Structure 1
Amino acid sequence: MFKPIPVAIGLRYLRAKRRNGFISFISLASIIGIALGVAVLITTLSVMSGFQREIRDRLLQMTAHATISGADEPLHDWPHVVKVAMADPRVAGAAPFVDVQGMISGNRDPQGAMIRGILPAQEKKVSVIADKMKQGNLDSLRPGSFNILLGQELALWLGVGVGDDVAVMTSDTLSTPIGAIPKTKRFHVSGIFAVGHNEVDRNLALADMTDLQRVLRLGDDVTGVRLKMHDMDLAQETAIDLARSLRHVYRVSDWRSENANLYQSLKMEKTVMGILLSLIILMGAFTLVNSQVMLVIDKQADIAILRTLGLSPNGVMGIFMVQGLLIGVIGTLSGVIGGILLTINLERILELIEAVFHVTLLPSDVYYITGLPYDLESSDVVTIACVALAMAFLATLYPAWRAARTQPAEALRYE
């Protein structure tokens, strides 16, 4: 099989047993360094992606994929909005809601919270709150009962449980002879839920929508309609299409815009971590530079002979680029395979460490996420592999260029 001379000689140099064992050791260290950097980077980014997915999924259990609300006033004809939304095949569920910021007083200091009025039958179509009840049930929210469901963390801070009463003070005021005072209503705690996301469990209370409308004197108006999509990535596009089809001015938001700061911080954290861990691959690339420079010095006589036989400087450069790139390819492939295997078996490794050292790395009483989730994204793996190969390619340029500048007379003078 025909091979270009630089490729054939480069492969021969790679397979040959070198006179200087130290050069072989540095080449092996280059492969190990690149492989280790690639494997660690794949595993770390996969775990970070897994945590991002877990946080997103837990948050979306209670956060609507999209929300349609009135532009500057409450939403009046919400049944029509729900009807139009459910007619769209992209929408899986729609439910009206009333939101108001308020203070809840229990047996301890008052706590600020979002009080949300819902219709239990329709709320089940857009959230999993019914499955997250620790005590009581969602159907206890009946019109006229003035029952309320509290997040687990919120109930703990208030020092209340099922069967207790709490006072809810809303941000709306009531005019009296002594001045404006906040609207206050006593509610009966009929249930406690735990979604597994601190922002929700600490800052949310649920009441029947009709009861909250009476407290706020809204009549039949609501804050908006929450939508659940079959494909949450189409949430914003679908909500905008629905708002246009309703032929009114509505405010539209989706889960990305409502939690933009959280997702941007998670994305930034993953990007910074990827850049920092790329330094491991860079260290392997620097080791590759050292090994190739030493190889060029060791092969001075061979380079001189090849030049006298008519091999061009570009051909000499190609020999050492082939060898360096092969080292980079071997290191990258080893790292990719090792990183994938490590990521897949990370849960078992964690369990083994806990069993051997008798420790709990992710205790359930401290962390909401007790396992070690991962999301092995093919795009991340391909990007990491390309970065590693690019670094290996750049690492071969200087040694190959130095080899191409070798003068045959100078190299053979002392041979």
Structure 2
Amino acid sequence: MALAWQLAKRFRRAKVQNRFISFISMSSTVGIGLGCFVLITLLSVMNGFERELTQRILTVIPHGELYSTDKTGIENLDAQLYRLNQDPRIAKVEPYTPLTGMLQFKGELKAISLTGIAADAQNTFSRQVTDEHWQNFALNSDSVLIGQGIANKLDIEVDDTVQALIPVTTKDLRFSAPTSITLTVAGFMHVGGELDNQLGLMHLAKATAAAGIEGQALGMRFTLHDPFSAYITMRDIGYSYPQAVYMSDWTRTQGHLYNDIQLVRTVVYIALVLVIAVACFNIVSSLVMAVREKQPAIAILKTMGATDTLIRRTFMFQGVLNGLIGIVVGVTLAIIIAPNLSTIVKFLEGVFGVEVLSGDIYFIDFLPSALMWQDVVVTCVVAIIMSVLATWYPAHKATKVSPSQSLH
């Protein structure tokens, strides 16, 4: 094994008469390194998007919901909240009443989705609402927090008075005159993306009264320890609930974002693994030509007693060495750049005056990145395996060299 490794390094350092072989060998190393670098970097970006989805949107959008099928609201609310909070899968349960209507200010209208919540739910929205605005909201039962996008569109300032127009349906499903609620703007929410143009928060009691709910709240909002288990968990809770309720989870409303992230992750992984595979084909080409050029040396080694195993290992090590150099360089660059990608992209945006992600369209206005070591390990293992496989055929061809013909 040690002799094979020494011969491989010697063959690799030896002066190559055919410069084209050196070029192919170098291109395989560069291709593998570039593939590893881009693959780890893009997987880190996908991890960053998933992290931001969890920490931004899924702190405002409940992981799961149960709500009454009629105007009676949730029965025995306090007892049910106590019972559900004992479930180890659930981090927090809060009562809520949703309202959908139009927000009116100075003759202009904007659609809004209001959520009535308890005034002590600040921790749920700590990332989206400043402490000052939340204190303003908590002190006034007639106050409202609105999305920054709505405030910008209607030119609303803190302490402005707005009207919320809530549609009312009769028992025969006809619309009657909408309910008008006068609210004072206590502050703004900043979630990111389209949600800033839709969401608002108001006090639970006022929302429940405006919706005509007989109980304390129409439903309950769930925050789970594992938000990605919401589909199974909410159905398990809903099917066993003692009251007729509708059940929902975040995958119905925002699941497309997560599905898009996973789809892009899969496509990126397949595409870049194929790039690494193409680079490994260059290892095949360079080794086949190297075997042809080194036929006299192979013949001399055989006449000196070298076995086929030694010859095979020599050329396999030579090919793997090219792959390892590319892997080490590519992975090292990725480990350095991926954690700092957000800062690098922000700097380039300032230099070239371009915007990679618009906060008005996407739920974030920067390129996130989160390096995960399992991605690094998997990428290295895949690249090494493909490099080893690429060396087998040329190494096998080297064992077929005939000393009598090569030294003739």
Normalized against structure 1, the TM-score is what? 0.81
Residue correspondence of structure 1 range 60-209 to structure 2 within 5 A: 60-70=58-68, 74-88=73-87, 91-107=90-106, 110-121=109-120, 123-128=121-126, 130-131=129-130, 137-139=136-138, 141-142=140-141, 145=142, 147-158=143-154, 160-161=156-157, 162-170=159-167, 172-174=168-170, 180-181=175-176, 183-209=178-204
Q: Distance in 2 between matches of 1:108 and 1:298?
A: 84
- Is residue 129–residue 190 contact of structure 2 (8 Å, CA) maintained in 1? no
CA-to-aligned-CA distance 1:142-178 (integer Å, 9 cap, x gap): 1xx4x433222223444554423324132x41379xx
Q: Which residue of 2 aligns with 1:29?
A: 27
Q: Which residue of 2 aligns with 1:41?
A: 39
User: What secondary structure, in the 3-state scheme, does the structure 1 residue paired with 2:125 have?
Assistant: coil
Say whether 1:260 aligns with 2:255: yes
User: What secondary structure, in the 3-state scheme, does the structure 1 residue paired with 2:130 have?
Assistant: helix
- Give the CA deviation at 1:383: 1.7
Q: Which residue of 2 aligns with 1:286?
A: 281
Q: Distance in 2 between matches of 1:175 and 1:232?
A: 37
Say whether 1:390 aligns with 2:385: yes
* Cα distance change on mapping 1:58 and 1:249 into 2, 3 Å: same
For structure 1, the residue ranges without an aligned partner over 5 or more in a row are none
User: What secondary structure, in the 3-state scheme, does the structure 1 residue paired with 2:210 have?
Assistant: helix
- Give the CA deviation at 1:412: 3.2
* Cα distance change on mapping 1:349 and 1:214 into 2, 3 Å: closer
* Cα distance change on mapping 1:165 and 1:370 into 2, 3 Å: closer
User: What secondary structure, in the 3-state scheme, does the structure 2 residue paired with 1:196 have?
Assistant: coil
- Is residue 150–residue 189 contact of structure 1 (8 Å, CA) maintained in 2? no
Please say which of residues 105-114 and 93-102 is displaced more in the overlay: 105-114
Q: Which residue of 2 aligns with 1:295?
A: 290
Q: Which residue of 2 aligns with 1:344?
A: 339
Q: Which residue of 2 aligns with 1:324?
A: 319
- Is residue 133–residue 191 contact of structure 1 (8 Å, CA) maintained in 2? no
CA-to-aligned-CA distance 1:245-303 (integer Å, 9 cap, x gap): 86556555544555322101111112212333334423422322222122011112223
Please say which of residues 84-93 and 193-202 is displaced more in the overlay: 84-93
Q: RMSD of the TM alignment (CA)?
A: 3.6
User: What secondary structure, in the 3-state scheme, does the structure 2 residue paired with 1:137 have?
Assistant: helix
Please say which of residues 51-60 and 64-73 is displaced more in the overlay: 64-73
- Is residue 46–residue 376 contact of structure 1 (8 Å, CA) maintained in 2? yes
User: What secondary structure, in the 3-state scheme, does the structure 2 residue paired with 1:120 have?
Assistant: coil
- Is residue 132–residue 195 contact of structure 1 (8 Å, CA) maintained in 2? no
- Is residue 192–residue 364 contact of structure 2 (8 Å, CA) maintained in 1? no
Q: Distance in 2 between matches of 1:358 and 1:43?
A: 22
* Cα distance change on mapping 1:134 and 1:186 into 2, 3 Å: same
- Is residue 43–residue 339 contact of structure 1 (8 Å, CA) maintained in 2? yes
Q: Distance in 1 between matches of 2:356 and 2:137?
A: 31
* Cα distance change on mapping 1:296 and 1:133 into 2, 3 Å: farther
Q: Distance in 1 between matches of 2:177 and 2:206?
A: 17
The AA in structure 1 aligned to 2:7 is I
- Identity within the alignment, %: 31
* Cα distance change on mapping 1:135 and 1:238 into 2, 3 Å: closer
Q: Distance in 2 between matches of 1:85 and 1:273?
A: 41
- Give the CA deviation at 1:240: 6.5
The AA in structure 1 aligned to 2:61 is T
- Is residue 108–residue 157 contact of structure 1 (8 Å, CA) maintained in 2? no
* Cα distance change on mapping 1:159 and 1:181 into 2, 3 Å: farther
Q: Distance in 2 between matches of 1:191 and 1:96?
A: 21
